[in-house]
Amino acid sequence: MKALVIDDAPDIRIYVRSLLEKWGYEAIDASEGLEGLARIRDSGIPIVVCDWEMPGMSGPDFCRAIRKAEMGHYVYVILLTGRSEKADLVEGLNAGADDFLSKPLDAQVLNARVRVAKRIVHLEQRLAEQNRQLQSSRNKLQQAYDQIQSDLTAAARIQRQMLPTSDRVLLPLRAEWLFLPAAQVSGDSFNFFELTPDRIGFYHLDVSGHGIPAALLSASLNRSLVPGGGPGVAAQADFLDPAMFLTDLNRQLSDADTEVENFATVVYGTLDKRTGEGEIALAGHPLPIIHRRHGEIEYLKPGGLPVGMFPEVAYDSQQFRLDAGERLILYSDGVTECQDAGGEAFGDTQLQAVATTDTPASSQSFTDRLADSLREWRGSSDFEDDISVLVLERQAEAGPES
Amino acid sequence: MNLEHRTLDGIDIVKLPERLMMADASTARAAVKEIIGLGTGKLILDLADTTFIDSSGLAVLVSSLQAARKKDGDVYLIHMGNTVRALCELTRLHTVFQIFDDEAAALRALK
């Protein structure tokens, strides 16, 4: 281990240096503080024995300079002094000295004090090594975390690309929608598509749980629920028969031998663009709402269990009809379960209220108003659960409203 | 997670935690699964304390039912509060579970 002796008196300097060499240290000497500092900087010396009284930079000055400098390692300083006043000791310690050795020098005591220094330097070096290792694992963790974040952002982007971009395919029906994912990736999804020239298919789904597993199931369901979306259930399912469709989908997803981790609540339906006649099947989803022309709210009847739980579950279809100026509202429970600061849920009543305050004169769409109401209720834009809404509307006939 | 658990004539009675959501749900799932694995498959889940539940929590109930039925057992739910009941009804799960007001009624039915 390297050690440095700083003393303006050559005899003491050489004496101490030769003692240190005898004890196995790689000893260097300097005749004044600045030179000492340069030596430490050049050769990373951890132990210094330094005289107190020196012309120019004194021992305490040297200590202060060492503590201020960035040496990259700890420097243990023993001050040599003839002083024994309490005030002097305090000054030395305050300046940054680690230990004192009184003059005249006693070789045995010096040996013991330098051994203490060596022990402490070893401890410091071990600590520094551990810190380096910690820092290195921290950096690796940070890299992994950054990678996950960027993957999640990419996943969220892909997910958004699965959502509809335009309702042109529905014309003369119209659609509007709202999608406010809670985490980066969401378990909610919805879409609509043409089945025959007159009939459209539509779905709204909510996968249990959050994050990656929910998003993956949601993505796979999206493929199954769109004609031509991929192999599997979509290839053979009858998209025109909602009950049969959900029964097949559920059988495909449920496996009696695997433990239920994720399931999905789904609404799947078809709707005739000209007549407004529709057929719909529900799997554990919040009950869709029909907003009638004169403002009444009707709920569809409950359906079957969520898909992905039990393989042998039968689903029923129910008929509905949208007249001109009426709309079907599909939503996830993230809407009705959205909690305010006090833990109170937004609830069905408020959802109905937002739906029915709509007037033809209102320039803001229902989904925009709902988004505003939910943010206001929540007190922020951070939602605990995914919020999504799909509205299918049969537009009012041209001409004055009755 | 240490769930309050006792066994009465081969029937496991387990008290579920106050929060049955997300991370809490997966620890509760593991704990209930272990109890079913060691027991007869007859299980009463006490929901008296459970006031916060989400879809992950429902998955715990359903996976318990699956595990119990594999052992020819069943899962009965007791002391169901309004929140849990509402979610069960929304997802139609009240049609697959036997639901009882209290332990005595559930025990009579299971025996």
Task: Nearest by CB to A261, from B59, B91, B96: name it.
Answer: B59
Mark whether A124 and A169 lie in a shared domain: no
Mark whether A125 and A219 lie in a shared domain: no
DSSP string of B25-92? HHHHHHHHHHHHHHS-SEEEEE-TT--EE-HHHHHHHHHHHHHHHHTT-EEEEES--HHHHHHHHHTT
Residue-level pLDDT at A157: 83
User: Parallel, antiparallel, or unpaired: how do β-strands A76-81 and A47-51 relate?
Assistant: parallel
Cis peptide before A311 (omega within 30 of 0): no
Q: What is the pLDDT of residues A241-260, one digit of tens each?
A: 999 999 988 988 887 777 77
Does any domain span residue A267?
A: yes
Mark whether A98 and A177 lie in a shared domain: no
ipTM of predicted assembly, 2 dp: 0.85
Does any domain span residue A153?
A: no
A259: closest chain B residue by CA:
B63
Q: What is the pLDDT of residues B1-49, one digit of tens each?
A: 678 999 998 999 999 999 888 778 888 999 999 999 999 999 999 999 9
Does any domain span residue A400?
A: no
Please give the torsion angle defined by the CA atoms of residues A230, A233, A237 and A239, in that order, rounded to the nearest 10 degrees: -60
Split into its structural domains, chain B has a count of: 1
In angstroms, the CA A1 to CA A122 distance is: 10
Does any domain span residue A402?
A: no
Edge to edge, what strands does the sheet with B98-100 contain? B4-8, B11-15, B42-46, B74-78, B98-100
Residue linked to tokens 């820092």: A135
List chain A residues with CB under 8 Å of B91. 265, 284, 305-306
Q: What is the mean pLDDT of chain A?
A: 89
The model's pTM? 0.72
Split into its structural domains, chain A has a count of: 2
CB-based contact A338:A212 (threshold 8 Å): no
Q: How confident is the model at residue A84 (pLDDT cuts 50, 70, 90)?
A: confident
Mark whether A304 and A204 lie in a shared domain: yes
Strand ranges inside A317-382, DSSP E: 317-321, 326-331
The Cα-based distances of A6 to A48, A51, A78, A174, B50 in angstroms read 7, 6, 10, 89, 73
Mean pLDDT along residues A127-147: 94
Mark whether A376 and A242 lie in a shared domain: yes
Mark whether A277 and A179 lie in a shared domain: yes
Mark whether A181 and A314 lie in a shared domain: yes
Q: How confident is the model at residue A234 (pLDDT cuts 50, 70, 90)?
A: very low
pLDDT-above-90 percentage for chain A = 61
Does any domain span residue A156?
A: no
Residue B39's CATH number: 3.30.750.24
CB pairs under 8 A between A and B: 49
Does any domain span residue A155?
A: no
Domain that holds residue A260: 163-394
Does any domain span residue A94?
A: yes
CB-based contact A297:A356 (threshold 8 Å): yes
Mark whether A78 and A184 lie in a shared domain: no
Mark whether A103 and A170 lie in a shared domain: no
Residue A104's CATH number: 3.40.50.2300
Mean pLDDT along residues A313-342: 93
Residue A284's CATH number: 3.60.40.10
Mark whether A125 and A172 lie in a shared domain: no
Amino acid letter for position A323:
D
Domain that holds residue B89: 4-110
Question: What is the distance in angstroms between the Cα of B22 and the nearest Cα belonging to chain A?
Answer: 7
In angstroms, the CA B19 to CA B23 distance is: 10
In angstroms, the CA A334 to CA A370 distance is: 12
Counting every residue written for chain A, the total comes to 402
Mark whether A300 and A189 lie in a shared domain: yes
Does any domain span residue A158?
A: no
Contact (CB<8Å) A209/B55: yes
Amino acid letter for position A79:
L
Tell me phi and psi for residue A97, to 5 degrees.
-70, 150
- Please report which helix (H) or strand (E) contains residue A76, including its range: strand A76-81
For chain A, the residues whose C-beta falls within 8 A of a C-beta of chain B are 206, 208-210, 256, 259-263, 265, 284, 286, 302-306, 309-310, 333, 385
